[in-house]
Chains A and B, each alone.
Chain A
């Protein structure tokens, strides 16, 4: 069972959270200026690294805060956690 350290509530079972996939994928400031290819890349193309991965979690059944977690995709180790942002 993954334990997710919520910055507000502390460490809780992953079942209390929704997974939000990769962090740092900002909504484009001007989508209309993007080509179809650039827009598709924003929508669908994500890195799937082996190793440390910065991802978003949502404490859906708790404080309802969105935050960032760095998780190792092989070992499921979890380190730095940060509130908010895309």
Chain B
């Protein structure tokens, strides 16, 4: 049976039939229908079931105030928990009714979501009469002002669009839309719900897109002024069995007639506490519903609405209430009977209207406070958030103005503040049907001693469903006030927080997913090394290792690294080190700054020399390390760890600008401007000599920590003799556009020596054998240079450096501080696990708490001698060399012996080759 009326329907296009599928059954609809209107037209009122009770639920509202009608979308990648009252139909749409909660589709959401940023002088939220008046006035007054109107409906007009075109409201609407059309600078976004007002004029909005393009858009709107014309939400009344399919909000029921030409019931009882419910009764009657009784909780009634009902022969019962309902025994559970204080009625529709809640959510988001108004019978805006004063106005029904629709005020009878009937089983009085929370639950909360509305909300879960209390929230507050015997204004509402309607994570992510979720940085020589497996270092992709094909297939990580380590220790290796952070420091006072930020002395560094430095925070803990080369009297080049470059630059800026602005210094990041290839190993000098034969590269002419400018394979370059492996090594710095040419030249010059490219893993093994810590891996913000065994890098001559005062504290000198040590497995072959906890050897791991003496910070399966080793932080570690401990991973102990942190060439004999 179709409940579609033969004519009418302001939102549907009868020339465009649409077929959707609900629970596998085809349902005929028209373009412009929502899933809710299509199902009501098909006389299928059962939309969902209670999340815990399993009770049948139908459509109660016509928009975002509905608290029941959520469906699972199956088509187009699927989506859980979509409001049927706002989901517009399109061919191929398939949905499924759900019981209270949806389920995340198994696959990836491949739908397109877009993010847009907009700016406006005035943003008007809500395109009803009140909003349009404000928008037209703003656009006409301020020439060229950008006015943005955001409305969640498919077209502008709000409630006025549901009134006859020849009514005063209809005429005004037409006039406003005509004037709007002629105005420059006005932008209209329909199907766009503002989900948050975030202060300082920032709004976030969700735009539903026509089917076939990006599914949704997220708008970030920055406005100078905000007009909130968000209207109101119809409020229900409660009674026993108030949740059956067939119980609807009265104005919503009338809107289904006007918007979708759907008659929501054949025979109806209307129960109301304000005039809008009476108006809805007249509209339903005129559309063809037999209104068997209208109940108004108010004791007196006069005016045109009472006359309109009488003129249609409809009985109006004043001071009357609904006490309960009966439902059918079949699967649909639909309403068949209404019990009231004036008798019982066999009907298929109970239309209820307890009042209109001004939609104050957006007013409240930034901190606006509301008050209860008896005149409006609702919470209205009271004190705006201080930051919104002068920036935000609330107009129309959202402000409690009941004369938005012209002509209403003259006839208005004051609304009643009524929330519930007392009769019936409180277990069946639903105060939040979406959460299946009842009056009995609320009484249990009260009995448990809870009286704050926020506590009751959390105890009962009322208002925590997908509708976030838009349907029943204020009503539940009213019921709580009655139960507590306190005035509703004292109880107040719960805090409204964004988002106003649900936002999916996929929408928030927009296009920033997968490869686009974070910028990827690659070295300028990337295409020469891109065949290697990559390791993520911050945003950088760095070659991890360079596996070779062997008879047994491609080498694995361990085999490749063992070969690469051997090459550097015995021959020569090459590494792309372009990702190193590089900061150019220029000015007369750079030395002064470096003396303050590094623990050791830098101002004495001569041009042509390089020095290693450690940086601490003011708390004395290591934050970075690296080398700085003095390029000239005024120019210095600092290198930082790859992942820390931006943070170090920021720190230098901060100290310079905020503490020592008088210093003559300019700081520039040159990370991307210089490509670096490291050539390391006893044969590296031969390679560099081939590349730059015009220079003497002997240790006497070009010593450790020297740098010089020299053309390398014809490329202008800086060559630095620094080593992160302990071997003789050179860093070749060239302008970045020469990166590939340099890589090729080094490969060619090194070929006779069997030069071997190596990756970050080999670099880590090489440096770990030398006991060189990696800041952030072997340190964690609680480690001083002394803890790392780097007291040699901490100046005793300087009067101050950042962290010096902290290092002077007694605690920083405690001998039992956690210190960097080396570890080897007692059996000489078992792998030590990174992150393993260090405990006493043989400690009982079941006797909690087990005393923890430290942890493994770096571990590798084999060093130069082919044996596993590790670095660790250990309490008083420097005095415990030789001691045997257990390294415990996942409750499995491994016996390890403590060594010094340096396990290779402790004398440093190899750095000159």
Binding site for B on A (CB under 8 A): 1-3, 13, 18, 20, 26-28, 30-32, 34, 36, 39, 42-43, 56, 58, 60, 64-66, 72, 74-77, 84-86
Contact = CB atoms under 8 A, between A and B. Distances in A.
A39 B654 contact: no
Interface string B468-491: 000000000000000000000000
Given A84-B657, A85-B658, A75 B200 contact: no
11 contacts: A1-B198, A1-B200, A36-B809, A36-B810, A39-B806, A39-B809, A66-B653, A76-B200, A77-B386, A84-B658, A84-B661
Contacts of B654: 20, 58, 66
Nearest to A42: B618
B896 interface: no
Interface secondary structure of A, over-half rule: loop
Range of interface residues on B (Cβ < 8 Å)? 20 to 34
The 9 A-B pairs of least Cβ separation, nearest first, read: A31-B805, A1-B202, A75-B386, A3-B200, A66-B657, A75-B387, A86-B658, A1-B198, A27-B659
Contacts of A76: 199-200, 387
A72 B386 contact: yes
A76 B659 CA distance: 27
B505 to A, nearest CB: 19
A31 B658 CA distance: 17
A31 to B, nearest CB: 4
B804 interface: yes
A66 B661 CA distance: 11
Contacts of A2: 199-200
B661 A85 contact: yes
Contact of B201 (A3, A31, A42): A3
Contacts of A58: 650, 653-654
B367 interface: yes
B682 to A, nearest CB: 44
Contacts of A36: 809-810
B818 to A, nearest CB: 20
Contacts, number: 68
A77 B387 contact: yes
A13 B650 CA distance: 19
Contact of B658 (A3, A34, A56): A56
B604 interface: no
B109 interface: no
Nearest to B655: A27
A58 B646 CA distance: 13
A64 B198 contact: no
A18 B804 contact: no
Contact of B659 (A1, A18, A75, A86): A86
Contacts of A18: 650
Given A1-B198, A1-B200, A2-B200, A64 B653 contact: yes
A2 B654 CA distance: 22
Contacts of B300: none
A84 B661 CA distance: 8
Interface string B350-394: 000000000000000001000000000000000001110000000
A43 B619 contact: yes
B805 A66 contact: no
Contacts of B535: none
Interface in B112-139: none
Contacts of B385: 75
B792 to A, nearest CB: 21
A58 to B, nearest CB: 7
B551 interface: no
A58 B658 CA distance: 10
Interface in B614-645: 618-619
Interface string B784-816: 000000000000000110001110111000000
Most A Cβ at <10 Å: residue of B658, B808, B810: B658
B96 to A, nearest CB: 38
Nearest to A18: B650
Contacts of A27: 618, 659
Nearest to A3: B200
A26 B202 CA distance: 34
B507 to A, nearest CB: 18
Contacts of A86: 658-659
A32 B800 CA distance: 8
A18 B647 CA distance: 11
Contacts of B387: 72, 75-77
